[in-house]
Amino acid sequence: MLSDEKETLKVIDQFCKTIKKIGAKRVTKALYELYKDKIEDYDLRVVNFIKENVCLNFLVSESSLNKPYLTADLFVCRSMSIVLIKKHLDLKNSQIANFFNKNNHTIVSHAITDFQNKNERIKEHKLFLEIYAKLDNEILKFKETLK
């Protein structure tokens, strides 16, 4: 066996012993803490890109998405932002809600339901879906630049 393979096996063996000794939950939590900055930085950059570009397309300010009461235009803008974030990032609904200064995941559920309803009534919401498709492609390109 090569020395690199032996070293790898030693590390894996030690890691397994650590899991047995400390417990899987604590090891998982420690790994999360170790790597969360990388994940959060990437997620935050993608979220900011999404919010910025959705707001540009709807001609609204980003700060207006965090208001407690939204007009119909702002609701549509925030809903599109939420749906795009949900599609492009592996985040929980409560984490997405936090990006809009909400502590409740229901705004994400409502946005997703609203989006599904728009897909069912496609002719009524053609402009919304065109903007969505355009932004979806821009987000994919942006995410490629982050890799």
pLDDT (tens digit, 0 to 9) for every residue of the chain, 147 residues total?
567 788 888 888 888 888 888 888 887 777 767 665 455 788 999 999 999 999 999 999 998 888 877 788 888 899 999 999 999 998 888 889 888 888 788 889 988 888 877 766 665 677 777 888 899 999 999 999 987
Query: Which CATH number do you get for residue 102?
Result: 1.10.1750.10
> pLDDT value at position 124?
61
> pLDDT value at position 49?
96
* Alpha-carbon dihedral sign for residues 26, 30, 32, 33: positive
> pLDDT value at position 37?
47
Burial 53-87 (b: 16+ CB within 10 A, else e): bbbebbebeeeebeeeebeeebbbbbbbbbbbbbe
Q: How many domains does the chain have?
A: 1
In a domain, 32, yes or no: no
User: What's the 3-state SS for the chain?
Assistant: CCHHHHHHHHHHHHHHHHHHHHCHHHHHHHHHHHHHHHHHHHHHHHHHHHHHHHHHHHCCCHHHHHCCCCCHHHHHHHHHHHHHHHHHCCCCHHHHHHCCCCCCCHHHHHHHHHHHHHHHCCCCCHHHHHHHHHHHHHHHHHHHHHC
Residue 52 lies in domain:
39-146
In a domain, 30, yes or no: no
In a domain, 17, yes or no: no
In a domain, 28, yes or no: no
User: Cα 114–128–54 angle (5° rounding)?
Assistant: 95
In a domain, 108, yes or no: yes
Q: In sequence order, which residues have a C-beta less than 8 Å from that of residue 147 and are 6 or more positions away?
A: none
pTM attached to this predicted model: 0.64
